Structure 1
């Protein structure tokens, strides 16, 4: 549930004038998107930030391969590892990212990630602008049967969000 409140209201218990656009998403709130072995929760879809920022929380099951290496033309991404370890491949560089690691990927940088471990991994993803949140909704619609999308369909969906798979480092 999203609620609008101020810290003064929270401290005094008395209603105060709400600040338009302020969003508080509780631990059991947010839109849930299921994609094969990943459970994503949309914490901010851009509707409270004039589409400047999107934020998701994802739980990747053990041995979850990530997307094909790709680059974004219209948005930057940030990934904060909450628990577990993910492997990020940025171009031809491999980075083991344990809990507490922040990975920032600017526009144009080829990247992918995967959970190669026997434990689930949780990460927060930030998109600026929020463009890519709708991509995940589209992927969920394509994977209603619980499996991954067909490779060509996944790539076509990426292209609608100014994203292309890279083969430079495959």
Structure 2
């Protein structure tokens, strides 16, 4: 029997108001899934809605309240909530509170999508402090993810 333990350190990076820490990089389970802990700043607006074509995501809320949007529907998820975004379902997430940070665990199945988080963190912002949308779209495409705009 072999088990894997995440040490207190772990790989970490920041992306536009979100802090990520890898808890499981998939190496212990042949890439079948990965887990990151994510902390988002108060009022963080999150990514635009998007659809994943090759992986599922689940979010377990640890602190704060996270707003999930799918199409035109919104869901407020307090601590202890588990929200799943299966392949093909449009979704986005944001901090629902303008005064309090939030945190959650995010699983990705398979773990390959952890590479997206790493690569987006390496993108350099332009003079306005924002990432180039064309670079972000190209990166999303490499990870079988596409933007979604509700009608």
TM-score (norm 2): 0.92
Structure 2 counterpart of 1:151, from 107, 129, 133: 133
Q: Deviations over 1:90-129 (max 9, x none)?
A: 1211000111100011100000010131101001000001
**Is the 8 Å Cα contact of residues 36 and 143 (structure 1) preserved in structure 2?**
no
With CA pairs under 8 Å and 6+ residues apart, which has the higher RCO, 1 or 2? 2
Structure exhibiting the larger radius of gyration computed from Cα positions? 1
**Is the 8 Å Cα contact of residues 36 and 106 (structure 2) preserved in structure 1?**
yes
CA distance in 2, matches of 1:23, 1:138: 25
Structure 1 counterpart of 2:35, from 34, 46, 55: 55
2:136 alignment partner, SS class: helix
**Is the 8 Å Cα contact of residues 76 and 96 (structure 2) preserved in structure 1?**
no
CA distance in 2, matches of 1:135, 1:148: 17
Structure 2 counterpart of 1:70, from 50, 72, 77: 50
Q: CA deviation at 1:24?
A: 0.7
The answer for unaligned runs of 5 or more in structure 1 is: 1-17
CA distance in 1, matches of 2:101, 2:50: 23
2:84 matches 1:100: no
CA distance in 2, matches of 1:141, 1:63: 23
1:152 alignment partner, SS class: helix
2:120 alignment partner, SS class: helix
Number of residue-to-residue matches in the alignment? 148
- 1:120-139 matches, within 5 Å, as 120-139=101-120
Q: CA deviation at 1:148?
A: 4.2
TM-score (norm 1): 0.82
2:116 alignment partner, SS class: helix
Which stretches of structure 1, 4 residues or more, deviate above 4 A after TM superposition? none
RMSD over aligned Cα atoms = 1.6
